[in-house]
Amino acid sequence: SAVISQKPSRDICQRGTSLTIQCQVDSQVTMMFWYRQQPGQSLTLIATANQGSEATYESGFVIDKFPISRPNLTFSTLTVSNMSPEDSSIYLCSADRENTGELFFGEGSRLTVL
């Protein structure tokens, strides 16, 4: 199984600012994914990040608000731009190394926007 590290683990931010979350995988993976999870809720897929191509966003999420980078096969970043209190959530990075549907997750980044 892959080990996924996320930074920061938590942060408190001011409205209108932006925060970049980093995701590092301990091995090369083809597909990486970013999810959002509101307290007590299920996970919502934000986008799929493949190396060498633009991220694919799900309905309700746009690149201007959640720009994603995928510079290599072990790393990705998600930026939450122009934050508002509604963006307060846990953001989770995930990877599917063997395209099997078996996902490995980071511990999440808990974001609070004041």
Partner 1 sequence: LAKTTQPISMDSYEGQEVNITCSHNNIATNDYITWYQQFPSQGPRFIIQGYKTKVTNEVASLFIPADRKSSTLSLPRVSLSDTAVYYCLQTGANNLFFGTGTRLTVIP
Chain contacts with partner 1 (rule: CB under 8 A): 1, 4, 33, 35, 42-45, 48, 92, 94, 96, 99-108, 110
Closer CB to partner 1, residue 14 or residue 99?
99
CB of 48 to partner 1, least distance (A): 7
Q: Are 4 and 102 in contact, with CB atoms under 8 Å apart?
A: no
CB of 79 to partner 1, least distance (A): 20
Closer CB to partner 1, residue 68 or residue 108?
108
Look up residue 77 and give its amino acid: T
Closer CB to partner 1, residue 35 or residue 66?
35
* Rounded Cα–Cα distance for residues 65 and 53 (Å): 18
